Structure formats: C-alpha cells, structure tokens
Structure 1
Amino acid sequence: MKTVLKTSLVILLLAVIFFSCKPKLEEHPKQLVKHVVLIGSDGFGAYAFKKAKVPSLRRLMEEGSYSLKARSVLPSSSAVNWASMIMGSGPELHGYTEWGSKTPELPSRIIGEGNIYPTIFSLIDKQQPETKKGVSYSWGGIGYLFEKNMVDLDFNGTSDEETKNKALEFIINEKPALTFIHFSQPDNTGHKIGHDTPEYYQAVEKIDGLVGDIITALEKNNLLKDTVIIFSSDHGGIDKGHGGKTLLEVEIPWIIYGKNIPKKGELSSSIVTYDTAATIAYLLGLETPDFWRGKFITEVFNEDK
C-alpha cells in the first residue's frame, strides 16, 4: 500500500513539474482599438519642435505618449524609411535602400502574397479580412511600398490638403481599421529653400493645422473615442538635403494618442521607425510574423509611469 502511495505521489509530482515547465502557448493579442490613423509627415525632423508652433501635435503629446528621439533607418531618406515604417523591418530585409526606391535594390528576404515584403496591410488583410484599410498620400513614391490589391483606398493627392480631405472622407464613411496618411511637407520646402529656415517652420505649422483638422473631424463624427493616432516622419534634414548620419537627419518624432493610450508624456524607450508597424499590429490584435524585426513599444502600454 505504501509503495503504491509513494508511486502515486511521484507520478503526481512529475506531472506538476511537467505542466509547470511546459511553455504556455501565447494567447492571440487582444484588440485594443477599432481604428488606427497613421499620419506621416515627410522631412519632419524632431528638431522642428524647438521653433515651430504646433499646438495640435503638442496636444497629442501631452495627452498621450511621445518620443523626439525616435530614429529612422539608414539611409535617412524617404522610400527606405516609409517602407520600414509599414513593413516592420529595415532595408536589409525588405530591400528598399534608396530615397526613391520603386522596387527593392536588394532582393526582399520574404515575398508576400502582394508580391512585396509583407506590410501591416497584408496582416490586416489576412487576419481581419472583413475590415477596411487605405492609403492617402501626397508623394507618388508611397504607391510602390504597399500591396495595392489589399487596400480599399489608394489615393495619390495633388496636395497635402487634398490628401487629408480624401483620407477623412474614407475614414468617416468606411470606418477603416487602418488609414495611412502621408504628407509631402515640410520635405518639399526643406529641399527647395532649406531646413531650419522660417519657410520650413511655416510648412511644419501647416502640417500641424492638417493634424488639427483630422482630430476635429474624428471628434465631430464620434470616432476619436475608438481611434488611436500615430504621428511620425521618415527623416529630418540639413540645409537642402537628407540621407546622412547626423541626428538632425536621423531623429524623428513618434507620437501616439487615443483610446487605451495612457497619458505618459515623454518615453524613454529606444524607438526605430519599423516599431511603428508592430505597434499598430498590437493595437489591432494582430499576430506579427517572425520575420518582422519591429516590436511594439511596451512602455506605452505598461501600467508603470
């Protein structure tokens, strides 16, 4: 009898050890928000906040979380960084390596169903096929960086104002899961007249006005309560150029505000632009692929301040 009891206890003990040591399967992420609006402003360096008047962006910063020390990937130029922002990886994997890349100069490590390195739009298309998603952009180069067959809006505006208006029409009417809005300013002014000039900061302030219009429209249509806004950029600049390795060119703003986003103010996390896609995926409750290198910014969502 004692032998049977001892044997039973040993088996029970082994079972407890086995199940306590067995790795737990990761639960599918919980969806935190219905709508995400990603606003990207081309050439908007983090340094712009020192001189420009940007009340709309400062509202998002004060009522949400932000970093003015987020970084672009290298080279610090347009296509390579917009691709990284929505592809969750850097150029060594997605292959877009130049400011105006239309196809990867380096073969993409992974080719998705959209025949390019998979973006956040492909994740939504596969995991939430019933939801809407769209892109409204002022610079035509954006059109080469996402799966056109997977979005419900593909609009290349002739101005930032037109781009904003089309995006808002789509958001209000379709209630999409994700809308990516790309503005070409202040980059155009930076190249034509120069960064860190009065004209550059005027262009920055116009972008802030467009952001304010977006916030107002979301509030008016009762959408802001179920929306997260992320604002960022691809690079900064020096003189009339960009693409270099200075902080003025590499440091970009990264601002997140909205539903389930605590009021934390400035973040201490090291943020790279490809973390944006992973953070959007986390917000929408999507599983991210192993080949992505971005990670969601945990500091935004943890309970500690």
Structure 2
Amino acid sequence: PPAPAPRRPTHVVIISEDGLRPDSLTEELTPAHMALMREGMAALQADTIPQSDTLPSHAAMLSGFGAEEHGLWWNSYQRDRGYIRVPTVFSIAHAHGLSTAMIVGKPKLRHIARPGSVDHFERPSYLCGGVARRAAAYFTEEQPALLFVHFSDPDEFGHSHGWMSDAYLAAVHHSDRCLATVLDAIDASAAGADTLVIVTADHGGHSRHHSGGHLEVDREIPWIARGPGVTADTVLDRPITTVDTAATALAALRLTPSPGMKGVSILTYAR
C-alpha cells in the first residue's frame, strides 16, 4: 500500500523571546528550549534584519518584509502613526477564514495588528509569567489557527543589567519556564499533534544595547521549530533570517505568501 501522506499542521504558534541570544541556551539554564531542539529542528545562528529593534524586527518576522517595505521604523507605541503597511501572517490567515491571536508583553506590537487581521489582541503583563499563563489558557480554550506569543524578559534585563550578565541569564531561565508553560498547554490540547511551534527572537544584544544591528551579536537569533512534518534533532545549516518565519507559518497553513515577500519556508528543509 502507498505510504500515508505526511501530517500537515492545522495550527501555528510563534513564540518570540525579546532579546534572546542563542548562546544563552544551555541544558542547565534552558531545558525546555533544549528539549524542543531535540524534538524538532534548530538554527542557532539565524539573523534578524539590520534594524535590530523590537518593533521593526517583529514587523519583519510577522510579515516577511524588511523595514523599508513594512514601514515600522520606530520602536515605541505611537497610536497616531497607525499600522504596518504590508500584509502580515495575520491578515493573510484572517482573509482565508482562519482565527488569529496575539498575546504580548509590549504594547508597541499593536502596530502590527492591523484592524480586521487579529481576532484577539491581549497584553496581560509585561514580563512573561502572565503572558504565558494567558497564552496557555487561550490556546486551550480557543485553539486559534495562528497564535503569536511575546515574552519581554531577556530584553528587559539585558537593558538593565547587560546581556549575558547574571540577571540576564536568570531572565532567560525564567523565559524558559514560561515557554514550558505554553508548550505544556499546546501538547495537552486536542490540537497539539497538529500544531507547528516556532520559537525565535527579535534580536540579541551586547553590553546594555542592541540597536542598529552593527554587531553580529545584536542581529543573531535562535530559530527552533517542532511539529508535523519536522524531523526530530535536525540542525539547520542554511542561512535563516527572521523574514523566513512568516513564510514558514504561511506554508504550514497552506496559505500563499504576499507578492514581494522576502522570506522562504524552512519547512522545505524539515525532512
């Protein structure tokens, strides 16, 4: 008999840990991340865009376009400046009748949620404890087709104490526990086996800074994915950039990317 068709995701969860440097991930400090890497595929030398700030980088991650196209050059919530000017993973999914949600730690990310594209936008807390609990509960209750979750902790303590300081590494450990909270909820849900999880970051950092992307350590980010069709314990040895996240999410949901989108689906390399 012919081999059964490979399982395809019906849900995608993108989790971004703000300011997470890939060289902070260790078995002792971040067991949930390391387990996820064993269960899926990972690249620890992916790159964000040159504008390595939270809002421009997340806009690129969730649209597949660079800052020149998406237009979100600033890095704070400024209501009067409106919304991202290109389609996003949310607007494309929503246009095809799929449910979408963003549960985040920073209000500036609302600039990415164009009206009519995100069914549920919530900022329950700044640090990740409240965000993770709400994201876990929301996925359990609603099982949206596309969920974006954002943790602030590594960035907060990188700015206040320095990237790779003891306080920063403690924040990374806390972010790992928050990740475990969300992953446990996904795995326990009816949709768990059909969910592609992508874990990444918007930028790294050095000293107490990351802006401008002049240093590789500011641009370098982790990129981890686990789910249907992804071979376990796979090391991705091709160049990966943050715009590939949008393309991968759309490909997983069998949606056509926007014309001009820069990213490529990493699922091509998943088997």
Q: Deviations over 1:45-80 (max 9, x none)?
A: 122125961110111111100101100101211111
Q: Deviations over 1:207-263 (max 9, x none)?
A: 110111112122223332111110000001111111132121110000001122112
Aligned pairs, number: 264
Alpha-carbon separation, structure 2, partners of 1:50 and 1:166: 26
Which of 271, 287, 290 is equivalent to 2:256?
Answer: 287
Segments of structure 2 that go 5 or more residues without pairing to the other structure are 1-5
Q: Deviations over 1:10-40 (max 9, x none)?
A: xxxxxxxxxxxxxxxxxxxx99211111000
The reply on whether 1:190 has 2:121 as its aligned counterpart is: no
> Which residue does 1:258 correspond to in 2?
227
> Which residue does 1:225 correspond to in 2?
193
Higher-Rg member (1/2)? 1
The reply on whether 1:134 has 2:101 as its aligned counterpart is: yes
> Which residue does 1:18 correspond to in 2?
none
> Between the two proteins, what is the percent identity of the paired residues?
28
Segments of structure 1 that go 5 or more residues without pairing to the other structure are 1-29, 109-113
- TM-score after normalising by structure 2: 0.90
| 1:132–1:178 contact (8 Å) kept in structure 2 | yes
Query: Following TM superposition, by how much is the alpha carbon of 1:84 offset from its aligned partner in structure 2, in angstroms?
Result: 0.2
Instruction: Go from structure 1 to structure 2 and tell me whether the alpha carbon gap of 1:201 and 1:134 turns closer, same or farther (over 3 Å shift).
Output: same
Instruction: Go from structure 1 to structure 2 and tell me whether the alpha carbon gap of 1:267 and 1:49 turns closer, same or farther (over 3 Å shift).
Output: same
Aligned amino acid, residue 54 of structure 1: T
- TM-score after normalising by structure 1: 0.81
Query: Following TM superposition, by how much is the alpha carbon of 1:115 offset from its aligned partner in structure 2, in angstroms?
Result: 7.0
Query: Following TM superposition, by how much is the alpha carbon of 1:148 offset from its aligned partner in structure 2, in angstroms?
Result: 3.7
Runs of 4+ that moved beyond 6 A: none
For the aligned residues, what is the CA RMSD? 2.3
Which of 109, 122, 132 is equivalent to 1:155?
Answer: 122
1:107-186 paired onto structure 2 within 5 Å:
116-127=85-96, 129=97, 131-159=98-126, 160-186=128-154
Secondary structure in 2 matching 1:276: helix
Query: Following TM superposition, by how much is the alpha carbon of 1:293 offset from its aligned partner in structure 2, in angstroms?
Result: 1.1
Instruction: Go from structure 1 to structure 2 and tell me whether the alpha carbon gap of 1:228 and 1:121 turns closer, same or farther (over 3 Å shift).
Output: same
1:52-67 paired onto structure 2 within 5 Å:
53-67=29-43
Query: Following TM superposition, by how much is the alpha carbon of 1:149 offset from its aligned partner in structure 2, in angstroms?
Result: 2.4
Q: Deviations over 1:73-114 (max 9, x none)?
A: 012111110000001111121122233375899xx9xxxxx8
| 1:31–1:282 contact (8 Å) kept in structure 2 | no
The reply on whether 1:234 has 2:202 as its aligned counterpart is: yes
